[in-house]
Structure 1
Amino acid sequence: MLRSLPGLSLCLALAACGQHGAAPSEQSGAPPAIAYEAHLAAGVRVPAGATLRNPHEGDAAVAKNGASLFTAMNCDGCHGTDGSGWVGPSLADRRWRYGGADGEIFSSIYYGRPKGMPAFGGTVGTEAVWSLVTYIRSLPLPDDVPTESWVGEARAPGTGASGEGKVNSGQEQRQAHREHSASPDPYLWLEDVHGAKPLEWVKAQNARSAGILKADPSYHKDYEAILKVMDATDRIPYGDLEHQYVFNFWQDAEHPKGIWRRTTIADYAHSAPSWDILLDLDQLAKDEHENWVWKGAECTPALKRCLLHLSRGGGDAVVVRELDLAARAFVKDGFQLAEAKSAVTYLDEDTVLFGTDFGPGSMTASGYPRIVKLWKRGAPQSQARTIYEGRQSDVGAQGVVFHDPSGTRALVERDVGFFTAEYYLIASDGTTRQLPLPLGADLKGAQGRNLVFTLREDWTPPKSQRMSKGSLLTYRVPDRLPAGGRPEAADALAVLYTPDAHSAIDEVAAGRDAVYASIYHDVTGAIHVFRPAAGGKWSDSTLSLPAGGSTHIVAANSWGPEAQFRFESYTTPTTLYADAGDGKPLPLKSLPARFDASSLRTEQFFATSKDGTRVPYFVTLGRAPAGPVPTVLYGYGGFEISMTPSYSPNFGMLWLSRGGAFVVANIRGGGEYGPGW
């Protein structure tokens, strides 16, 4: 009835509604529940159930409760909505492999069946199983099932005692089934994420889960331990490098909503920097009676003003307001956008490129802006000039601007799909020309006039050699756009790095003097630095950082030589490294050890798939386990989100340090070996 899913035990506990799993009463005539594994080992002998009597036969109220259990226990995950069948067989077609009498259905749920049907009797109890049986027996028969194919039918549906409160049958059931089949997704109402009904449903599910978690004797102690780590002031204050400053957004117990602040790069190197607070979000929320959530900021090239993105409650829609950094106040009549899924960026000190909800037809089917406009300071928004329009079928369109001492590069990015895009260069007169790049080119940044991309697919540019997917390349923006045509690609392209079968480029950032890439070999990282050289060539060097873990790019300064990186592993606390531009990174700040890892070790292994592919996985556990170890096995394999080694204080405290093992499988879909993985 249930698929094997993360959180399965939680779903079962929720379905029990606080009951302890009890064997059927002596009145029911069923033997006590036995473990599924045990009865499999015993030859899959399930006690006969045909003689068991359903105490709730035909009771509509019990059937309704059973329907709720059917959803709460994720039975529909296998058997489909209303038992119509999906991964598992249909429960509504009256075709029964193990018998269709109430008692036989009870036995199938209570004791389980081979090849996929777990036993739930010892988990949810007798009454819950009978509720499920009553619900299943109430399901209307689909129209496309011929009556001569019915097998194991003990009685026709709805032939119990007649009267009010009994389950309907016959033509009424068929009509109800038709109406339901013609209706849209029954869970579509949950898409209204701000609606009262969905929020009440979420609140109820949270309450049920919290009740089970809080019943654990160690819950409060563990909760306080995790909260202490989350509120710790000795966390690393990661930031963005801009000119001579480090900008940081910080949250702790005193500032739960957060403060936006900055200090100089030199002062940041101290153990206790002197931070200059630019915005206190807690105070702003209090003053304005708003539940503001920070969504980021972007400043003008001269750092005079900044666009702040504030969300009400944390949703995707944001309010955009302009802050004067010197006055620490919002700019009167500055750039502002009402709450919407917007995209906005400074073109210069007094001009922005932006897209927002301009009214019907201005957003894509994915809910993002499709129109990019140019807006001058002091002019009403209604006078902003449209410079690009995407299609409604696109994911979205937005302005992308890079500033550094060499000048400004302004683009329009048209996201055709989630992993495909076109790029248009914006000329000084506001016109656009498409760049000669493939749809699979993924823009990462700009170093001087060089736009930096990775490739999602193989590409052979005109008059050039084939470039492999996963490669890192640059495209040099021409000084002038050719009249009436697209710029040429061949002479402007350079390949910085091409991964082999064991490698992948995970992160890329561009600074004033170099391009930085975090490149992983068999899921452990290193930082490569690419610097422009004479004749359009690039040098490639590797920074001296620890091995055997993850390397991440924290920040690269577009206005100076500085860059910052971090290293971590499953047993090594995160350390921040600073490179002053000489290629010699030094440890700057480190996270204190939150658990004792001296007795732990991490090893990497490879499992061979049926198609011959070697799939890596990491195992972290004690150095000398005495026997079998409780193990958490985790895998993701989606959206090209790589599961690289990471230091988790909470998991280390509550699991590894208590003797548990942690296994992370780098299954395909996560991109650990590039876009082809």
Structure 2
Amino acid sequence: MRLPVVVTAFAAVVLSVPLQAQDMTAPQYPETRRDDVVETLFGEQIADPYRWLENDVRNDAEVADWVERQNALTGTYLAKLPMRDWFKQRIGQLYDFERFSTPVKRGNRYFYTRNSGLQNQSPLYVREGLEAEPRLLIDPNTWANDGATALDAWRASPNGSKVLYSVQDGGSDWRIIRVLDVATGQQLNEEVRWAKFTDLAWVGEEGFLYSRFPEPEQGQDFQALNYDQAVYFHRLGTPQSEDQLVYSTPANRDYNHSATVTSDGRWAIITTSVGTDARYEVRAIDLAARDTQGWAARELVTGFDNAWNLVDGVGGRLWFSTNKGAPRYRVVSVDLDNPASDWAEIVPEKEQPIDGASIVGDRLVLSYLKDATALARTFDLSGKELAPVELTGLGSVSGFTGKPGDPETFYSFSSFNRPATIYRLNVATGESSVFAQPELKFDPESIVVEQRFYASRDGTRVPVFIVRRKDVTGPAPTLLYGYGGFDVSLTPSFAPSRLAWIEAGGVFALANIRGGGEYGKAWHDGGRLNNKQNVFDDFIAAAEFLKAENVASQVAVQGGSNGGLLVGAVVNQRPDLFAAGNAQVGVMDMLRFDRWTAGRYWVDDYGYPDREADFKVLRTYSPYHNIRSGTEYPAVIVTTADTDDRVVPGHSFKYTAALQAADLGDKPHLIRIETRAGHGSGKPTDKAIEEASDILAFLGKWAGLTAPQ
């Protein structure tokens, strides 16, 4: 039965007690019911006294009450922190700059998002020609009073007459798909629900392909496992009930399917995966032959052995980037109109891994990672290397969208001390010019960005970015960030909250630990499954390096999702090394993670909890199961959200309850639970500012950071 549970939004309580009178040690925690739940797993008895906290906060009044009491305690504590108001004011100021996405051209129209600075969500604009005045098309800020309903993905139709877009509500992974008429600005009578983990792909101007799951049982939409994903075609002007099934695998319910369409509209490419690993099967549907062949899918790649990422297609020829025979990726091509055609190598593997690929005009544009920083190179379609794209400094690049025949493309470049600047690249000349550049409320030249390397426990050389004010030359409170999983590469990016920490005299460090994709497949493999301990060793070694090199006086650690697991694990393993930790939306129960929503996908990185060999590894580092009572722990703030249906908040609830029940010394172990928010994407600006202010004030207090005078 669905209970009428209401959870209020997180808000810190404002107190009038003088700061010097505040006691910042561990407060009296709310009482948490402890049950006698014990399971025997592979011969070991595993206690799980807080399993009841796995229940959905919307449907369980006791969990909702626990959340209310924890938030009240945390709000009271955070309101006493001396730097909270300073961080809130300064982060708000640093957020207040124009932010643009890279423009996409369809027909003669250019589409892009623009945030004026403090808007909760970024509206979508269109220009009728590059030099025309922008016109507002979609303003998601009007969709919800709390700003928590976001414009997610969007795709302009091939001739630019319509925009297909998805709506994200309250941070959930579920999406609602809608269509807008560009000329009139009116929303069409189209609505598709229960889409998740989907691409959006136009089929001409008549309709679109998308991926969806079956509608979950009532009350299970934020917790039930996701099975039976399928690709459908929705024809404009028809109800969703008439959508055509394009591709599914009912005999393999755990397979995932996504659809893209080549720029010329000739081919629909169905990519099938079985988890989070870059191991795909690929099929092609000839859209030009639908009248006679329907949605017949032609097998291109089978076996789930390698990554195959569509670059684009021209007529019968398709280009893909793949790690088959090339752990750092190469570009290959095949001609589907020629029955005798086989895969041909176009751009061979290089020393740096390929991070992105597109075809614009008559050129391949490939982005690479060199020690986690961006390079961009161009090639002709036969693979001959042309002039590189000149980038400025250590940073990240994205964009390069376009299609064969286009004379231009746009890309974004950013770094730790520079928000994204949007450039227009003339494909014929290779020259770049600024399309949009924000005015800043700080001097980028006052911030030093450097990259250094250190040795991990087994001698592996690991890069770390170090960002600080030029005048901060001695040891300083340091915020160390990491992720270390799922082939995800962390590259330089701008964040107002990090800059505020730096302006206050702190150091920000980002370690490119194993488990990510910074150096290709071997780097990923070196930090997953039986090698997961390498991730924790790399992160611990980063903190030791920063202290030994007189960069850090005290180290606070932070990470989200898989990075939240990272923080929980290293705090358990080396509580003496860190002053404070922030585990954000973390995977904290490694013995039950595969039981909810998308958790079953993560076995590629973590292993299977119900297989003995994997269980024995997971048991050694699961944050919830390895808290060391009787040991002095650093201060910890756990952050999560009630609508997180990626890593369900029960992970964080159980971990926090276990921390608070253990004898870990006098430092606080708190949880901050946001409402109408999810795993991170779609979070409104005002909530992002509030959350960052609370976290940094907490970490700064225990790492020794003080507000600038």
1:663 alignment counterpart: 509
Residues 584 and 265 of structure 1, relative CA distance in 2, 3 Å threshold: farther
TM-score, structure 2 normalization: 0.60
2:322 alignment counterpart: 455
Matched length = 486
Counterpart amino acid of residue 254 in structure 2 = D
2:333 alignment counterpart: 475
2:345 alignment counterpart: 494
2:261 alignment counterpart: 401
Residues 655 and 186 of structure 1, relative CA distance in 2, 3 Å threshold: same
SS of 1:353's partner is: strand
1:589 to 395, 417, 436: 436
Residues 598 and 512 of structure 1, relative CA distance in 2, 3 Å threshold: closer
> What CA deviation, in whole Å up to 9, does each residue of 1:159-205 have, x standing for no partner?
xxxxxxxxxxxxxxxxxxx9x96999444214x67766656555554
Task: Provide the rounded CA distance (Å) in 2 between the counterparts of 1:222 and 1:359.
Answer: 42
Task: Provide the rounded CA distance (Å) in 1 between the counterparts of 2:147 and 2:85.
Answer: 31
Task: Provide the rounded CA distance (Å) in 1 between the counterparts of 2:193 and 2:473.
Answer: 61
8 Å Cα contact 2:368-2:375 kept in structure 1: yes
Residues 228 and 378 of structure 1, relative CA distance in 2, 3 Å threshold: same
Counterpart amino acid of residue 587 in structure 1 = V
> What is the Cα deviation at residue 244 of structure 1?
3.2
TM-score, structure 1 normalization: 0.62
8 Å Cα contact 1:342-1:354 kept in structure 2: no
> What is the Cα deviation at residue 400 of structure 1?
1.9
> What is the Cα deviation at residue 518 of structure 1?
1.8
1:560 alignment counterpart: 406
Counterpart amino acid of residue 618 in structure 1 = F
SS of 1:633's partner is: strand
Residues 402 and 643 of structure 1, relative CA distance in 2, 3 Å threshold: same
Task: Provide the rounded CA distance (Å) in 2 between the counterparts of 1:588 and 1:252.
Answer: 16
8 Å Cα contact 2:487-2:516 kept in structure 1: yes
Task: Provide the rounded CA distance (Å) in 2 between the counterparts of 1:613 and 1:290.
Answer: 45
2:13 pairs with 1:20: no
8 Å Cα contact 1:543-1:583 kept in structure 2: yes
2:78 alignment counterpart: 213
> What is the Cα deviation at residue 615 of structure 1?
0.9
SS of 2:276's partner is: coil
CA RMSD for the aligned pairs?
A: 4.1
Alignment of 1:162-561 (within 5 A): 185-190=51-56, 201-202=66-67, 204-232=69-97, 234-236=98-100, 238-252=102-116, 256-264=120-128, 266-267=130-131, 274-283=133-142, 292-332=149-189, 335-341=190-196, 343=198, 345-358=201-214, 366-367=225-226, 369-378=228-237, 381-391=240-250, 392-404=252-264, 407-419=265-277, 420-427=279-286, 428=289, 429=293, 430-436=295-301, 439=304, 440-449=306-315, 450-456=317-323, 459=324, 467-479=325-337, 491-500=342-351, 503-533=352-382, 537-553=383-399, 555-557=401-403, 560-561=406-407
Counterpart amino acid of residue 206 in structure 2 = D
Counterpart amino acid of residue 414 in structure 1 = T
Task: Provide the rounded CA distance (Å) in 1 between the counterparts of 2:197 and 2:422.
Answer: 33
Task: Provide the rounded CA distance (Å) in 2 between the counterparts of 1:196 and 1:509.
Answer: 50
Residues 230 and 572 of structure 1, relative CA distance in 2, 3 Å threshold: closer
> What is the Cα deviation at residue 454 of structure 1?
3.2
Task: Provide the rounded CA distance (Å) in 1 between the counterparts of 2:31 and 2:118.
Answer: 47
1:59 alignment counterpart: none
> What is the Cα deviation at residue 550 of structure 1?
2.8
8 Å Cα contact 1:508-1:553 kept in structure 2: no
Residues 227 and 215 of structure 1, relative CA distance in 2, 3 Å threshold: same
> What is the Cα deviation at residue 253 of structure 1?
6.9
SS of 2:166's partner is: strand
8 Å Cα contact 1:447-1:511 kept in structure 2: no
SS of 1:539's partner is: coil
8 Å Cα contact 1:595-1:657 kept in structure 2: no
Residues 196 and 657 of structure 1, relative CA distance in 2, 3 Å threshold: same
Q: Which has the higher contact order (CA 8 A, sep 6+)?
A: 2
2:464 alignment counterpart: 617
8 Å Cα contact 1:518-1:527 kept in structure 2: yes
Counterpart amino acid of residue 191 in structure 2 = Q
Greater Cα radius of gyration, structure 1 or 2: 1
Task: Provide the rounded CA distance (Å) in 2 between the counterparts of 1:352 and 1:574.
Answer: 31
Residues 218 and 452 of structure 1, relative CA distance in 2, 3 Å threshold: same
Task: Provide the rounded CA distance (Å) in 2 between the counterparts of 1:564 and 1:669.
Answer: 31
2:489 alignment counterpart: 642
Task: Provide the rounded CA distance (Å) in 2 between the counterparts of 1:372 and 1:326.
Answer: 29
SS of 1:676's partner is: helix
Residues 540 and 316 of structure 1, relative CA distance in 2, 3 Å threshold: same
> What is the Cα deviation at residue 252 of structure 1?
4.7
> What CA deviation, in whole Å up to 9, does each residue of 1:605-651 have, x standing for no partner?
22123433211112233446564322222222122222222233332
> What CA deviation, in whole Å up to 9, does each residue of 1:283-314 have, x standing for no partner?
4557xx99742122223222222323123323
SS of 2:385's partner is: strand
Task: Provide the rounded CA distance (Å) in 2 between the counterparts of 1:195 and 1:646.
Answer: 39
> What CA deviation, in whole Å up to 9, does each residue of 1:351-375 have, x standing for no partner?
43344345689x9985265333344
Percent identity for Structure 1 against Structure 2: 25
Residues 600 and 387 of structure 1, relative CA distance in 2, 3 Å threshold: closer
> What is the Cα deviation at residue 380 of structure 1?
5.3
Task: Provide the rounded CA distance (Å) in 2 between the counterparts of 1:626 and 1:184.
Answer: 46
> What is the Cα deviation at residue 398 of structure 1?
2.9
SS of 2:130's partner is: helix
2:679 alignment counterpart: none
Counterpart amino acid of residue 602 in structure 1 = V
Task: Provide the rounded CA distance (Å) in 2 between the counterparts of 1:619 and 1:342.
Answer: 34
> What CA deviation, in whole Å up to 9, does each residue of 1:459-517 have, x standing for no partner?
3xxxxxxx31221213334126x5xxxxx66x3322414132xx222233333433322
2:688 alignment counterpart: none
